[in-house]
Every structure is written in structure tokens, then in C-alpha cells.
């Protein structure tokens, strides 16, 4: 029995949702560059779930479905207020809140195509409401109810701040959502598929995926990138800080990727967004610092930035608290999780790999008085 650590290079399933071939990321065959430059997030969600882009009427109908489903049960908000607000990370809060959502959906365990579609709409629409509500509750503020006349991206920023965003912020956040929507069989997506392959429900699958995304080697990397930038503080400090970290063999978050050997195709879009937003906010040091770190790590280690690296300064420039970066990742990636969950249900087989045993052999039982 041959094994591969971390299942690297192992093809575990077939999927038509997204692909990474020769360093090119596509969603149902559409290049991520085309989608990032042209698509609304709502169009991308529709594409991931329906295998095609919507026409105008379909898109308007889909937007309305999402907007109408964005409010969460009041009991879930009240439960959130009982969390140990000052001590709990937003990802832990989101994991618990999404699990709670399943308790208030009478169709949670129904498996029909229509029931699953309605659960998909609710989960996609309500994750932003949960993330923004938690952020405001811990700041001692009341949650802001979603509006039905805003785009998905604008509505998130509105519920977070209480103010409708400007066009540039809305466009930047929309692009970030598009770029994070799916990424083939990543750790959280694989977790979601393993969960629902037991014929568990969609809420369980998404809750499990959030648990996997919470880890710093997956979704938590962008938060740690911003922590590093904050510690460096100024552009002139970047080179000595990074070179010292490299000398001590400290992992620089936001660089390298197991799948991409010639660079993450999403990074260039986030780099440009970082440049524009930091210029608008007057805090160009975050972009300049990032570029300097990029140059050093690329030259010294041959590692290129991934999607997490420049997304940190993008979210910071949008005024988003740093520990919300990973929950925002979930707000986008739930679209991909759901696409894979639906695909798993369509042709399901229990996912049950084997393990090569490396423990002791032929042990003999000894009564307890002889041990």
C-alpha cells in the first residue's frame, strides 16, 4: 500500500465545479481572470451551482432570492449575544452559529433537490448576516438588518458598518468574493464532501468546512499576514524583519502553494486592489510594505505570494477588523462548498480511505497486575 503525506498529488474524486490545470484556475471552464474582471459575485454563485452563467432575468431572480433569505432567525442572534464575546474568535462564533441555523430549518434533513436548493440559498444569504451581526454585537452595537436593494458585496459592507459603501469599495469587495469562491479540492471543501458523503445534511457539511477553514494553514493565513504587517509597521522595517524571520526559519504566511508552482493566479488581482485602496485611504505603506516583502521572499526563497498575502491589506483598507478576514473567506467560499456538496449528493459514495498501519505488531495481552 503506497501512501502520500497530506494526500499530496492524490486524485480523490472527479468534479466539474472548478479546475487548476497548468496554473490556471477556472470555475466550470471560465478563467478566473475573466470572472474577476467582469462578473458579479451573484453571477459566480449561480455559475457554481448551475454549471452555467445566468441570463438577465435569471440573475435578477437569483439576486432577489438571496436578498429575501438574508435575515436569520432572531433566536440565532440572541444565542450569539450569549457567546463569550471578548474571548471567542469570529470563526468559532460562525461555526457555532451556522450549526444553530440548522436547528431552525424544518427542511434541514430533507434531501430532495428543491430542499437542498433552498438550504443553499439560505446558507449563502445568511452567512454575511451572521458575520456582521457578531462583529457589531461584540462592539456593543445592534446588528444592521440586510437591505434587499443592494448587491451581495455592498450589503455585507453595509451590515458591517451601517453605511452603504462607495462604488470602489463595493467593486473591490465583490472582486475579492469572486476570487475566493472556489478552489478545487482544498482542505475545507474536501471536509465538506467527506461529511455529506455520509448523507449528513448541508448545515453539517458547511459547519465541518468552517472548522477546517479556521486553521491558520488554510483560511487563517490572511489574518496572520496582517498581524505580520502590523508588527513590521513601516516599509523600512520590512527587510530586516523578513530576513531575520527567514534566518530563524520562521514561516512567512501568504507565500507558496502546494498546487501552484508558478504563482497563484488570484494574487495579481488582489495586489492591484491593494494598490488602489491604499492610495485612496492614504495608507500606501501597507501596499509598499507588502511589495517589499514579496520581493524579498521571492528572491530569497523562490516562493510567490498566494491569495492570502495581498487580501490582507485589501480587507484592512476596507476598514475590516483583522480577525474577520477568515469569516469573510467563508462568506465567499460557502458558494464553492455548496457546489461541491450538491455534486457529492448527485453521485454519492461514502468517502472512506485506508491508512497504512505503522504501529506495533503481535502484542500480547497482560492482566493488569502484571503490567
Q: Which residues are catalytic?
A: 257, 308
Please give the Cα distance from 322 to 226 (Å, whole number). 7
- Closest by alpha carbon to 317, among 168, 128, 148? 168
Q: How far apart are the first and last CA of the chain?
A: 34
**Alpha helical stretches, state H, the chain:** 32-38, 41-50, 56-68, 74-81, 90-103, 113-138, 152-161, 167-180, 187-196, 202-213, 221-232, 238-247, 267-281, 285-301, 307-317, 325-346
Cell of 198: 455520509
Question: 3-class DSSP state for residue 61?
Answer: helix
CA separation, residue 13 to residues 10, 96, 178 (Å): 9, 29, 24
Q: Please provide the DSSP assignment of 225-252 as one string.
A: HHHHHHHH-SGGGHHHHHHHHHHTT---
Measured CA to CA, the distance from residue 66 to residue 343 in angstroms comes to 21
Q: Rounded to the nearest 10 degrees, what angle do helices 325-346 and 113-138 cross at?
A: 170
Angle between the 238-247 and 285-301 helix axes, to the nearest 10 degrees? 30
- Can you say whether the dihedral through the CA atoms of 134, 136, 140, 141 is positive or negative? negative
CA distance 341 to 150: 28
Lookup result for grid cell 523578513 = 242
Q: How far apart are CA 157 and CA 102, in angstroms?
A: 25
User: What phi and psi values does residue 21 have, to the nearest 5 degrees?
Assistant: -125, 125
Strand partners, 26: 19, 31
Amino acid at each position: 500500500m503506497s501512501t502520500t503525506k497530506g494526500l499530496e498529488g492524490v486524485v480523490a474524486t472527479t468534479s466539474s465545479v472548478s479546475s487548476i490545470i497548468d496554473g490556471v484556475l477556472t470555475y466550470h471552464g471560465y478563467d478566473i481572470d475573466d470572472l474577476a474582471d467582469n462578473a458579479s459575485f451573484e453571477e459566480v454563485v449561480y455559475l457554481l451551482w448551475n454549471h452555467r452563467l445566468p441570463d438577465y432575468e435569471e440573475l435578477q431572480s437569483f439576486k432577489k432570492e438571496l436578498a429575501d433569505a438574508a435575515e436569520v432567525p432572531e433566536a440565532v442572534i440572541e444565542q450569539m449575544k450569549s457567546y463569550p464575546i471578548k474571548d471567542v474568535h469570529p470563526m468559532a462564533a460562525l461555526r457555532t452559529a451556522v450549526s444553530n441555523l440548522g436547528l431552525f430549518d424544518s427542511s434541514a434533513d430533507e434531501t430532495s433537490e428543491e430542499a437542498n436548493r433552498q438550504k443553499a440559498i439560505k446558507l449563502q444569504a445568511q452567512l454575511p448576516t451572521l458575520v456582521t451581526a457578531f462583529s457589531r454585537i461584540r462592539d456593543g452595537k445592534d446588528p444592521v438588518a440586510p437591505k434587499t436593494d443592494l448587491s451581495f458585496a455592498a450589503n455585507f459592507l453595509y451590515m458591517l458598518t451601517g453605511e452603504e459603501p462607495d462604488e470602489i469599495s463595493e467593486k473591490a469587495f465583490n472582486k475579492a468574493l469572486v476570487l475566493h469562491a472556489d478552489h478545487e479540492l482544498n482542505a475545507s471543501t474536501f471536509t465538506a464532501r467527506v461529511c455529506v458523503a455520509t448523507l449528513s445534511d448541508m448545515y453539517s457539511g458547511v459547519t465541518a468546512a468552517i472548522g477546517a477553514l479556521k486553521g491558520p494553514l488554510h483560511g487563517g493565513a490572511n489574518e496572520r499576514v496582517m498581524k505580520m504587517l502590523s508588527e513590521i509597521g513601516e516599509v523600512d522595517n520590512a527587510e530586516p524583519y523578513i530576513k531575520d524571520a527567514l534566518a530563524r526559519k520562521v514561516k512567512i504566511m501568504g507565500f507558496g502553494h502546494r498546487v501552484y508552482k508558478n504563482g497563484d493566479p488570484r494574487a495579481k488581482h488582489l495586489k492591484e486592489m491593494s494598490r488602489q485602496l491604499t492610495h485612496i485611504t492614504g495608507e500606501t505603506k501597507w501596499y509598499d510594505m507588502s511589495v517589499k516583502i514579496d520581493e524579498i521572499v521571492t528572491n530569497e526563497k523562490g516562493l510567490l505570494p498566494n491569495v492570502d498575502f495581498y487580501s490582507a491589506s485589501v480587507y484592512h483598507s476596507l476598514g475590516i477588523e483583522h480577525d474577520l478576514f477568515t469569516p469573510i473567506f467563508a462568506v465567499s467560499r460557502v458558494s464553492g462548498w455548496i457546489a461541491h456538496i450538491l455534486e457529492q449528493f448527485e453521485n454519492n459514495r461514502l468517502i472512506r480511505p485506508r491508512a497504512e498501519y505503522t504501529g506495533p505488531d503481535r502484542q500480547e495481552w497482560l492482566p493488569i497486575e502484571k503490567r
